[in-house]
Every structure is written in C-alpha cells, then in structure tokens.
Amino acid sequence: MIKVLKNFLPRPAKTSNSLLKALSYLDILGIFQKDPFGNPMLLKRFIIFIAGWPTFWRIAVANKLKVEGVEYLKELPDRNVFFISNHQTYFADVITFYHIFCNTKWGFGKKLFPIYLFAPRAFVFYVAAKETMKKGLIPKIFSLAGAILVERSWRAEGQNVKRNVDLSAGDNVSKALQEGWVVSFPQGTTSPYAPIRKGTAHIILDNKPIIVPVVINGFRRAFNKTGLKYKRRNTTLTVKFKPPFQVDENSTLEGITKTIEEIIEQSMPEMIAEWNALKEMAKRGE
C-alpha cells in the first residue's frame, strides 16, 4: 500500500530556486510540471483522461485483453526503464501500454479498472515515426501524450528510402529515459519479422536502462493498420511482459541487436517462413 501511495507523490521541480522547489512538493496535481521537452504535464494528463475512456472500451470491452507479467512492472523504478516490443498497429499497441501502466500505478493487477484515468502515469513516452504522427488531427493529439518523434532514415510514405540518420532521436530518448519510462518498437514498422534497427542498441549502450521485453499479439487481427478502426471484435489481445534485465559493459551493438530480435520473438524461422508464404498467397489472390 505504501509503495502504491508513493506513485502519487509529486516530483520536485528541477530548479535552484528553493521556494519553487518547496512549492513543487505540494503540486499533487502536477499543474506546474513539464516534461523533458518543455510540454506541460497537465495537458498530457488531460489528453490521457479524454482519450482513455473510448480506447478502454475498444481494448477491454469490445475485445478481450490478456496481460501477463504485470508483477514485473510493480517492481520497476520510476526512471530509466526501456520497454521494447514488436509492433502491430500504429496506435492501438502503445495506447494499450498506457492503460496497463496507469492501471499498475494504482496497484491493480491484470484486469483494467479505468478509474486510473483520473490520475494516470504521466511520465511515459513512446518512440514514433514523425510522418505518422503528423497525419491528421487524432495522431497530432496522441503525439502530445508523449511521442518522441523520429524521422526514419529507411522509410517514408510507405516507400524504402535512404537519407541521413536523425541524430536527435537518440538524445531525445535519453532525455525521456532520465524522467520516466519509454516504449520503443525497434523494428520501426508494423510488418512482422522486419529487421531490428541498430539505433535501439545505441540507446541501450548509452543509457544502460532496465530493459523490459514485450511481446504482443492479436492487435493486427482486431484493428486496421492504424489501430483506429475495428477489423474484428471479440478478439483476444495479448500483452506479455518478460523479466527485466540490463546489458553488461562488454555488450556489442550486434549482440544487443540479436538479443532484441530473440526476446521479442522476431527471429523464429518457421514463423517468418509462414508469414512470407501468406504474403505470397495474398498477392496471388488465393
């Protein structure tokens, strides 16, 4: 109970002004808090509250959410935690993570109780493609809920491209890790079994975060590619959190990349072969 109550204590302001710092301890609602990028946290909490109700219905009522490994989340520190997951839709995946994280903040277990929306876990961020988050009003609103925007060097407008690597991306992820939890989809695409991008390994080497592997399933069957429209209701959505770990000082980029591929279950030859066969059948109209 005491540990749960600590989740609701305000964070002291990072300032040399002793008066402002003292007052920040009384800021239970986080009215004067800002994220590492200067955005007001009150706005973020408001967006999570408003968007949380309809999205709760979509993932936990219209569909069946099954969560494993919640016990690992309850033992994590408030900062420098890096969730790495496979990816199935643009928005439904990360929205579900937000619900689970907020639910855990309140001390709940596998079943979601949406009263957590009144005081969500706000210091959560997620890595997203800049081009995706700039398309339309809803993505722009979701972006304010904690998106770390990255310009992909290998993909744009659905086409393979080659352009300079976005060097600011790693710095921004590092800033977010210093303040909270970050969700990353290291394949950088919703296509299954795509290669792991080495940028994730660089971030891990630079920040030495606690890494929490996540494997999700069912989202591609339940929602369209954006995750904003149903394809089929009453689908089981599974989110499996695996045991947290940290890499050692002798880890290499190649070694970390291979480890990521394995722990988010994107390196199984039989599954890759099956997926490629299904794609070929779809092309032939079978």
| Stretch among 147-151, 205-209, 281-285 having the lowest mean pLDDT | 281-285
pTM for this prediction:
0.89
The per-residue pLDDT for 162 is: 54
CA distances from 50 to 47, 127, 142, 227, 263 (A): 5, 21, 11, 17, 34
| Stretch among 61-75, 225-239, 265-279 having the lowest mean pLDDT | 265-279
- Spell out the domains of the chain, with CATH numbers in brackets: 35-279 (3.40.1130)
Backbone phi, psi, residue 75, to 5°: -100, 5
More confident residue, 283 or 242: 242
Give me the mean pLDDT over the 180-209 stretch.
Answer: 90
CB contact at 8 A, 242 and 214: yes
Q: What is the CA radius of gyration of the chain?
A: 19
| Stretch among 68-72, 111-115, 136-140 having the lowest mean pLDDT | 136-140
The per-residue pLDDT for 152 is: 64
Examine the pLDDT at 164 and tell me if it is beyond 70: no
Examine the pLDDT at 66 and tell me if it is beyond 70: yes
The per-residue pLDDT for 285 is: 58
Longest dimension (CA), the chain: 70
Condensed to tens digits (0 to 9), the pLDDT of residues 9-52 reads 888 877 777 887 887 888 877 888 889 998 999 999 999 999 99
How is residue 170 written in tokens?
């790693």
Task: Give SS3 for 129.
Answer: strand
The per-residue pLDDT for 112 is: 97
CB contact at 8 A, 179 and 35: yes
Examine the pLDDT at 7 and tell me if it is beyond 60: yes
The per-residue pLDDT for 27 is: 80
The position carrying tokens 């408030």 is 78
More confident residue, 32 or 274: 32
CB contact at 8 A, 184 and 94: no
CB contact at 8 A, 267 and 95: no
More confident residue, 176 or 280: 176
The per-residue pLDDT for 281 is: 54
Examine the pLDDT at 286 and tell me if it is beyond 50: no
The per-residue pLDDT for 158 is: 53
Give me the mean pLDDT over the 131-143 stretch.
Answer: 87
